[in-house]
Structure 1
Amino acid sequence: MAPRASQLLGPRVRLCSAGSSWDPGCACAAPAAPVARVVDFQVTSVHYYPEFNMSAASPSNNSLIKTVASKVPFSDLCSTLEKIQKSRSRPDKNKYFKDFLDSWRNFHNTLHKNDLNTTDSFYPALRLILPQLERERMAYGIKETMLAKLYIDVLGLPKDGKDALKLLNYRAPTSSHGEAGDFAVIAYFVLKQRCPNKGTLFVQDVNEHLDSIALNNAAKKKDLIKKSLLQLICQSSALEQKWLIRMILKDMKLGISQQTIFQLFHPDAAELHSVTTDLEKVCKQLHDPTVSLSDVSIMMFSPFRPMLAAIANIKHIEKLMHNQSFYLETKLDGERMQLHKDGDVYKYFSRNGYDYTQQFGDSPLQGSLTPFIHNTFKSNLQNCILDGEMMAYNPITQTFTQKGNKFDIKRMVEDSELQTCFCVFDVLMVNNQKLANETLRKRHEILQTLLTSVPGRIQVVEKTEIKSRKDVADALNEAIDKREEGIMVKDPLSVYKPDKRGEGWSKIKPEYVDGLMDELDILIVGGYFGKGHRGGMVSHFLCAVAEPASPGEKPSVFHSLCRVGSGYTMKELYDLGQKLAVHWKPYRKRDPPSNILCGTEKPEVYIEPCNSVILQVKAAEIVSSDMYKTGCTLRFPRIEKIRDDKDWHDCMTLHDLDQLHDKASGKLASRHVDLDDEELDKKKRKIPSKSKKLIGIAEQFKAQDLSSVDKVSNIFEDVEFCVLNGLEDHPKAELEKGIAECGGLVVQNPGPDTYCVIVGTVNIRVKNLIAANELDVVKADWLVDCLQKKCFIPWQPQFMIHMSPCTEKHFAQEYDCYGDSYYADVDKSHLREIFKRMSKPEHHLPFKAIADLEQRYLWDASPLCMFRHCIVYVDLYTIIGDASAKVHGTSLDLRVLELRFHGAQCVTNLTEGVSHVVVGCDARRLSELKLLRMTFERKFKIVLESWVTDSVKAGSVQDEKNYLL
């Protein structure tokens, strides 16, 4: 390797922010290139003045190409990442990243000031900061065990030595420094005394080495992978290797979200990435933060992150769909795929943006799918982008094969008995016309005109329009009977939003509904140590079923079934860990326990069955697998509860497992949704267990004898009423008889089981009941309507004399203060009644009254109300000369609008009662504001402008402590 410039030249000079000199031997110094000119490069609040020659950069960049990445030491990036991780304050984390980003951009502008067409960007750094977004380009095939063995080899560590065992058993709770489960930290402490304080790599060097590893991994050249890793290790400090490991493992643990980093880089970055999934394109197109991207949209041959569905509750589905009709689809169990077609050119991309065109075919002449679907498209179709599910179709049974079976649709071989079928459920572009902003109804109409479905090759997913949750329950029951995964529910008026979950799309599976799944009681026999916040404890469990024992005997042999590590709370995991901790033993593959039989999946530790506990586990289905001794496993297992009520020997047996598998062809959803109980609850909120027997009641309060009344309907079945008085044309006795004919119960004095009190005339007794505020008092007109129409009519405001607190809360969600329903249509007469209640004009509501209304109608959870209780003064003044002057046209004007939009009361004068004063980046008025605050009885808080922007972005008011001045 050629000598670095630092070996040929004199000392390199750096100036810190205070202006002091830096010695080239200090920890912050990096190798310098030959002298040419001085450039100001600021990283994490330190000013660098590297002297460089454009023709002699780092050894990895010997051409005339000028890039910032070839000038920025990798150690500076690692130093920034270390500060971000160690900081607990979100504003500080943001600041460290922003400082580094600004320094990069400033250096870039200086480096390329005469080259406007440069393609250099922040991409080399951002791909290292967000390695999880570069899965395809940065697929290394390297895990912790391989790195541990490599370090042991490179460092010449004794294989049974203390440090070697630390690396190999990094997840064990015996690991030092309290960082069990974090391989990067364990490696850092092992390397700390064995590596130089400063590495010699630049950001570009690291990228080139990592790219080399990814290419060699794809070519399965393990020796070359090892060589590249060795070069990285030998030229890096312990701290740099800590972050290199995290980049390779794609687990940065920065404590700052991908969304936040995108937002700090450019306001449009997240949206552009969602429709391109190309980090390099994002960095190049949005390099200038002052230029907005006007047309962020789905593009041909550019993969986008698809729109996803949120989990929905059947009970709430009508409200989710805004009480309008909606679409129902079968939930397909395949691989989400998008098809881009332009003439005879085809591209296929997965949900994560991986390119599978080679498998499915880029032209009508090759691939497992394209040759079979090319002629199905209409002749007038030039290009299109379709969204759908890639399924495996069995032409013999003419059915789709579930993904849980042993096949991979993305790698199906030609001689497979299954064939590839693309099930299309959406269209995003047709003949260069983008459709994402069209409604789903319009997109579906267009989709049906684009192609002719061919069963088993390409099919348009059928959409059924339904209206009620009963229709949804029936569809889910049908899916259960057909052994399908579940159903999809979609709003016909929804638009397509890439990388968004929900937004009008919902999914319902049997496992989301209580009581539909068969649950398994299986025994913990092994364990795996966790990572991250679960480091140092056994967080995943190997579970097993028992071999049937002889009658009267306890089972002695157990067969592994599945690995499960979700469904519990951290407290449940901690309590379980405390209970089992003393019983765990290391699992030795060469000497496994004879009573625990495993497949290829082996645990890290095991436990004797007699010391273990049973877990109640819920799963989607039982599928074949050679990883476990049973020959099958559970798909999507989840812990429901820890069965402390069962002894270890009462777990499921192999025979029980076989019966369950045969019961529904492996599907564990065997029961149907039953809405009968829910419908009953809707009609009567309180169901008495039995009729009240009144003893010792005065004659005038005794009920009439209704024992001989014939029952004609059951609309009031077992519902208890108290009729205090009736109407002139419908007296009390007639109303009571009507209740009995409809199956109801009548009492003379209301009690805790009484559904409601029926009143024709308000008298002193009625007033006393109202004052008690415990029961619903309803007009007799409501009961008359029910009896005449022979159906249970829901209560409406005009029927209510008094509402109990529970009913009042319910009505607040259904009606406004004038009794006008938010959902139900009204007729002419009803509308007149509503207008009569609005006859008195109301004065302008104060902010407190608005806040009370929002709380009453449960609107206060909306982000639009987050600042409702704040009285804010935005300080638009700045110091000009010796005086303060108001300045408009700054970002603070926008903050005023944001505050008002989200509920705040913004005032133009700083007077008593103000809760917050918002200031911008110019803090020259800070001392003046603090002096003024001393004169106020109620002290206001002075906060940074970022308090507003961060709160708006997060959708909730952020902790003011992080923004106080």
Structure 2
Amino acid sequence: MSLEDLKEPPNFNPKPHFSFLVTELFTKLDLVNKDNLRNFTSITAKKQFIIDEFIKNWKHYVGLNIYPAARLIFPARDGRLYFIRDVGLSRLITKMYKIPKNSIDFRRVNDWKRNYHDYKKLNTDKKRLRTLSYILAQQISERRDVQPKGDEVTIQEVNDVLDKLASDEVESGSQQIELLEPFMRKLNTEELRWFLQIILKDATISPMESYFYRSWHPDAPQFSNVVNNLRAVFWRLTDITERLSESDLRVHLMYPFLPQLAAKPKLSYEEIASRMGNNFYIEEKIDGDRMIMHMKRNSEDKNDMHFKYYTRRCRDYSLLYGEDLKNGAMSKYLRYAFHEGVSSCVLDGEMVAWDYRRNVILPFGTLKASAVQEAVRHFTTEDAFSDQSAWPLFIIYDILYLNGVHLVGTKLIERRNALKRIIIEIPHRFELLETPIAHTAQDIEDAMKKTVLERSEGVMLKNVNSKYKIAQRDNSWVKVKPEYLEQFGENLDLVVIGVIKGVKNAYMCALKDTSDGDIYKSFCTVGNGFSNSEYDEIRRITEGKWHDYKTEPPPPDKVLFGSRKPDQWIYPEDSLVIEIKARSIDSELLGTYAVGNTLHNLYCRRLRLDKSYEECVTLQEYKEMKELNSMDAAKAQEVIKGNKQLGVKPSKENRLLGDAIAIKNVKVVSTLFKGLKFIILSGKVDSKTGDRISDTDIIKVVKKHGGIICTNVEPQSVVDRKIICVSEVLTVKSKQMLKIGIDLISPEWIFQCIRYNSILPIEPSLIFRSSSDKLVETSKRRLDEYGDSYILHVDEPIQKYAKRLHIVKEEGGAANRQGLVTLQTNASADFKSAGVDDSPIAYLFKDVKFYIVSLQSTPSWQTEGLERKIKRYFGEVTLALEDASFVVFTAFDKYDFAADQEGRRKAKEISSRISNEWSRSKKIPYIVDESFVDESIRNKVLVDPQDYKV
């Protein structure tokens, strides 16, 4: 029987009540614990018995159609979308039953996550207060005059209400209340609890879902993987004596399935090649959206084609990409993309965004916008995405079904040959992936050279004789990345000193400061990476040792927190050590943690029960580690308050970021910008602290100092010089300004004016984009021969040694090189005497060599400025590519087609030179843009070059 034949449900006699599902399955499973096992050997065994009994009774009293109940048993697998999560449901019930704000019940409903683990740890949790649905059901029950007995609502009625809740007819909160409130009056407390849990799409019988499938039919789990459709599974599988054929357990046309995934073994190239049988495909790893496309033709009308598009997680994107030849961003171009003999097929590939102006594949994040633009192109009179120049491109690398024949059991090499025979490529729309066959480790190494050349993520290696493994991660597919592309990170053993409660508890960890009396100072908060068993182990070790922070704060000479406080804290000697893995070091500018710095993108790798709290990393060890491994720890930052870095005495006026955030009611405090009108087109990144200031906060700062903010401004009024246009982001509006000849001034100009309490002339560093060279050439006159400002303050030692370094470099010679060493040796005292920390900043680029690449459109002053920045921090500019640690491209406008094309061409030439000389024993220079230098200076460490690739 094909799935298309499943038009009528199986035998289904009476209409079962919802209470039958609740009392015989949900509640029984929920009440099982180790204290009521009776004759069962384990909790799992008893739950399996309950499921078996429920299914037996269902088949006996109800019939063979369990699909209506399955939609409620497996809410996450059901296709209905309610767009209601825990916070939304809490607010809905609060409003529906008029629970007073600030009451105990209101806090109980809205703060349930904070108490989750306290309730969960109680094995005798008879009221099951660990779930939001039960808490809400209790609140509703307490507000009723009459309690329903149950048996009033059928399973079909529950499904009808949920169908309406998921429909377009019910959208607003008032409509949801109007639908749910009268229906919920019919449900008793236990039925309410499970009804609300179904709305939240929380599992009702977890973790017994897989067993339920097997108990209903032994082929159900595997069949579910290939169709991912509840109705198809439970309508098709009714007789346990009727087993599915091998073809039934393969791909089904127009139904989603979980695709095969690649393994990530850490093996040498030789070992990988050997495991592949020295016969494998090499594919470029594409940064796109994994997509499975289904196509079916009408047998009578070959042009009547129907399509389905599913992601790797079985999400249906058919509406976006097109269900037929008339609609969508992809299907409308595929009329002639298949050989005329193809009546149906299933293709596996990658959906990417193709930029037709620059002839490149764009990064993953641009795909959805490009697809929407292409989908609506023929239906709108005004293109809302006119600034975009991309459309979807489907790159195909596998075929799993053809004209009714399943190909998953066929060798990959045969599937590839079939693809070449049936697909008629449409350039930049619908293409086959180029897949050469390789045999040796040298072939993998050559592929890595190409990866370097094209700056891609890596390659996929696939055994030519491999069969497709649905819903599996198999070693016949392997992902390989060049060593230099692997992410760096920090691994630290830290002691837990606090907890922020929630469904997923977040633990605050500390570093021991040995220079301050062995105080444990808060450093980071980690909430990811914990398994349920690890949560239980932490609870077991720390049981009864926690202290409430509000009522019993910690002694500051023992445990110290920053502005972020935990719900509870613990003495280090009563706690445990956990190993933290983090992508990078970040900074907390407002003292969030007592250490000052914190970790970025972190998770728990494991509990270190073999270590005592005294063996955790100290603050001093951490600082040494950060300095020694500055190349590995990406984006390390340090707190800079005011302008202490430049030797300027901090003042209230200089702490602009704090002012911008703190201002709520803007009051004019000066007339600095009186008579000046501004249009603020973007926010900014503060050049000293690295924090972000929104455009709203900049507006507040301008108004605070007497400026006038203009909105909805006509471009001509800006041309007439009546308004100052401020931006440091190329938005649609800012690009319009540039097109009509308007200069964009960096927001930094505003803050510099406030700092000096004067309207400053424009210098090159304060220009974000100029429509001509006139403003730039004029502004250059305000710099001295070394590029230092005549107006803006520069530290005398930094300025002096930058100039002397420049002289030594220009004159050359052994004596002068020796003089340079003397300069670097003697400079430390001068820096320290000026109050400048020379270690992290003065020698930032010491022993680092830069190879600078400029475009034809790059003005000479910009290249010279980049050289000065490098030399100022004792870096070296080299003309020998083989000596370089970094290849730096001067900044250019990526939206300028000519500049972008030239930049790509030069980047490819540089990559080609590197590739030709590359070996696994030689370090590869990073190819980055100028912002890498700027961000390194701002952060006072070499930041992660991966974030600044050209």
Q: Which protein has the bigger helix share?
A: 2
Q: TM-score, normalised by structure 1?
A: 0.49
Q: TM-score, normalised by structure 2?
A: 0.49
- Greater relative contact order structure (CA < 8 Å, 6+ sep): 2
Between structure 1 and structure 2, the one with the greater Rg is 1
